[in-house]
Amino acid sequence: MSEYNVIEIHNLSKIFYDFWGRAKVRALDDLSFHVKQGEIFGLLGPNGSGKSTTIKILLGLLFPTFGKVSVFGSPARNVSHKQKIGFLPEESYLYPYQNAEEALTFYGRLFNLPHKVCQQRVDNLLEMVGLTRVRKRLLKEYSKGMARRIGIAQALINDPQLIILDEPTSGLDPIGTREIKDVILQLKEHGKTVLLCSHLLADVEDLCDRVTILYGGKQACEGQIGELLSNQEVTQVVSERLPSDKLEKLKDWFEKENIALHSVGNPTERLESFFLKTIEKARNEQKDAHGADAGRRVEGLFTDVEKTPEKDVGAKVLDSLVKKKETRESEEDNKEESEEIKSANQADTSSKGSSEGTKVIANLLKIEKPVPEVGKKEKDPSEPPKNNEVLSKLLKKNSGDEEENEK
């Protein structure tokens, strides 16, 4: 991760005025944060906290009332730096009368991409988001999830350096969510900076390096996600299944040592991994579906047909993807794959749920598993469990409800 700040926001305030010039709403109040190159930065907060306003200011859709905003070192309204930005809005604001291919070509042409490059990227992105088969269908006939996939594809059409994602997984099914999360991790792996704005705390927890939490337009807290979530007061030990007599001994030992034991039992499987396994089973039995396919990692996603030195940046993404794939392919055979699926199906600890889920889906969909935890720390069983409750508590805490937090 570079120390270069892709986004810098200093003392940003945004006030909305009414027709007569009277201040009606202070959407942002003295907000300051920065996003480093190559990191996934989460922007969290309840409804009306100012997340979308911040994103709109970053994109020049709104102008700051006070404060300074810079993206790639230049003011947010500068048009030229938008060449390096990909944006996925809260809803996929696509033209209903275009089909998927036309929509992506249109956005590609807005970046002045050469025709051949544009066509290749459109093909690759459609394959990546699993919409190749319905590329000629009008977007107004798409489901919300399919429209979301096209939205994500258009955000990546220019091989952006900074990707701003506003609720990227809203409207997606768990498989789609997993795929998008994998794509985000792939992007990070290739040095892209991601600003992620989401209500889904599990997504943020799985993906983000750092987060800032907004409440009422003000910054409630900011920091490394690991630091914010670690609970130093509790220790968790995960072991293979213990017989009841050994379990009793263990309880006695805790009692003898005067250590408070909060819970003992079998951890439950995460719904996400359970769902993915069920779908895998169903897919094996039922061959065809009419909507979107499962997405794929696409070789040469950002490879330009006519390479220029600048475009080679995009080509690197491809190169690294291809190399990794080839290496792994030579190492893995079908037997190993089936074993992995089996082991993934058996793995059911909640702390490993996310990573195992990734393995499962990667095998199910026969896609490249995007390196178990790309840009993400391998979860240590001794590490306290990360769960959404912690982030929820944080939100509550920072919204001023201190009493409840102490409880």
Partner 1 sequence: MRDLTAISHKIVQEAVRMRTPVVLLIFVIGMIPLMPFVLRDDGTLRGQLQLILNYSVILTVTLLSLQSIYLTIHSFTGEIKYKHFFLIDAKPVARWKFLVGKFLGLAWINLVSLTILGTVILVALYLGYSQGSASEKKQIRHELLTSYRGVKPYFDEERFQKLVEAEYKSMTEENRLAQDKTVLQIRGEIRLRTRQQMNMVPLSFQRRWLFQGIPTYLRKMESSYLKLRYKTYCSNMSYQFQCNEKWDIGSGGSVYSESNARTVNEFHEIIIPVSVIEDDGSVIVAFTNYDEAAGIVYFPVEDGMEVLYPQNNFLSNFLKAFFLLFLVLSFLVFLALFASTFLTFPIAILFVMYFLVLGMLADFLLEFAPLGAEILTKNKDTLWSIFYQKTLSVAFGVFPNFSEYVLTGHLSNGRLIEWSSIAKGTFILFLFKGGLLILFGCFIFNRREVGKPTL
| Contact flags string 95-134 toward partner 1, x per CB under 8 A | x-xx---x---xx-xxxxx---------------------
Q: Compare residues 193 and 354 and give the one whose CB is closer to partner 1.
A: 193
Q: Which residue in 30, 91, 189, 222 binds partner 1 (CB under 8 A)?
A: 91
SS3 400: coil
Q: Give the H or E element holding residue 69.
A: strand 66-71
Spatial separation of the C-alpha atoms in residues 106 and 116, rounded to whole Å: 13
Q: Which stretch binds partner 1 (CB under 8 A): 93-101, 218-226, 243-251, 262-270?
A: 93-101
- List CB contacts of 324: < 8 A, sequence separation 6 or more: 368, 371
Q: How far is the CB of 331 from partner 1 (least distance, A)?
A: 41
What are the tokens at 78? 């500068």
Among 195, 225, 193, smallest CA distance to 37 is for: 193
Residue 41 engages partner 1 in binding (rule: CB under 8 A)? no
Spatial separation of the C-alpha atoms in residues 175 and 272, rounded to whole Å: 9
Q: Which residue in 73, 74, 75, 93 binds partner 1 (CB under 8 A)?
A: 93
# chain residues binding partner 1, by CB under 8 A: 33
Q: Compare residues 88 and 391 and give the one whose CB is closer to partner 1.
A: 88
Q: How far is the CB of 150 from partner 1 (least distance, A)?
A: 11
Q: How far is the CB of 111 from partner 1 (least distance, A)?
A: 6
DSSP-assigned letter for residue 140:
G
Q: How far is the CB of 25 from partner 1 (least distance, A)?
A: 8
Contact (CB, 8 A) for 336 and 343: no
In which residue are the tokens 């209500």 written?
199
Backbone torsion region of residue 221, taken as left when φ is above 0, otherwise alpha when ψ lies between -120 and 50, otherwise beta: beta
Per-residue burial over 350-382, b = 16 or more CB atoms within 10 Å of its CB, e = otherwise: ebbbbbbbbbbbbbbbebbbbeeebbbeebeee
Q: How far is the CB of 173 from partner 1 (least distance, A)?
A: 24
Contact (CB, 8 A) for 217 and 210: no
Q: How far is the CB of 99 from partner 1 (least distance, A)?
A: 10
Q: Which stretch binds partner 1 (CB under 8 A): 92-100, 175-183, 254-262, 281-289?
A: 92-100
- List CB contacts of 320: < 8 A, sequence separation 6 or more: 189, 190
Q: Which residue in 83, 268, 343, 392 binds partner 1 (CB under 8 A)?
A: 83
Q: Compare residues 16 and 253 and give the one whose CB is closer to partner 1.
A: 16
Q: Compare residues 61 and 341 and give the one whose CB is closer to partner 1.
A: 61
State which of positions 52-81 bind partner 1 (CB under 8 A): 53, 56, 59-63, 79-81
Rg over CA atoms, the chain:
23
Q: Which residue in 71, 94, 125, 344 binds partner 1 (CB under 8 A)?
A: 94
Q: How far is the CB of 299 from partner 1 (least distance, A)?
A: 26
Q: Which residues pair with 210 in a beta bridge?
A: 41, 224
Q: How far is the CB of 105 from partner 1 (least distance, A)?
A: 8
Q: How far is the CB of 209 from partner 1 (least distance, A)?
A: 23
Q: Which residues pair with 152 in a beta bridge?
A: none
Applying CB under 8 A, the residues found at the interface with partner 1 are: 16, 53, 56, 59-63, 79-83, 85, 87, 89, 91, 93-95, 97-98, 102, 106-107, 109-113, 154, 158, 164
